[in-house]
């Protein structure tokens, strides 16, 4: 299993809508709105690093309000 935390910067005012979309993904275990350099942090649980890469590039980064992500893979 691959576990990662993803830090997201989103367009101002889109936090609630982005959280709603994130909650629909079964690979997103938890998500929180935070304050500071990033706006949202969420935990992803997948079977492999390749699945993580595919999920982030095809599902998460295609969301309209996501401006930037930083992924931290747990070991």
The CATH number of the domain holding residue 62 is: 3.30.70.920
Q: What is the pLDDT of residue 11?
A: 97
The reported pTM is 0.94
Task: Give the pLDDT score at 38.
Answer: 98
Spacing of C-alpha 31 from chain mean position: 8
**42 with 34: CB under 8 angstroms?**
no
Segments of the chain with pLDDT less than 50 = none
State the Cα–Cα distance between residues 29 and 45, nearest whole angstrom. Answer: 7
- The pLDDT, as a whole number, for residue 57 is 96
pLDDT at 25: 98
Domain that holds residue 53: 2-74
pLDDT at position 35: 95
Determine the Cα–Cα distance for residues 63 and 3; give it in Å rounded to an integer.
Answer: 21
How many distinct structural domains can be found in the chain? Answer: 1
Q: How many CA atoms lie within 13 A of 38 on its CB side?
A: 15
Beta bridge partners of 9: 68
């Amino acid at each position: 299993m691959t576990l990662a935390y993803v830090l997201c910067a989103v367009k101002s005012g889109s936090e609630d809508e982005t959280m709603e979309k994130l909650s629909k993904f079964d690979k997103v275990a938890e998500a929180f709105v935070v304050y500071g350099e990033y706006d949202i942090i969420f935990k992803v649980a997948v079977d492999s690093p390749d699945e993580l890469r595919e999920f982030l590039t095809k599902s998460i980064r295609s969301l309209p309000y996501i401006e930037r992500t930083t992924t931290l893979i747990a070991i």
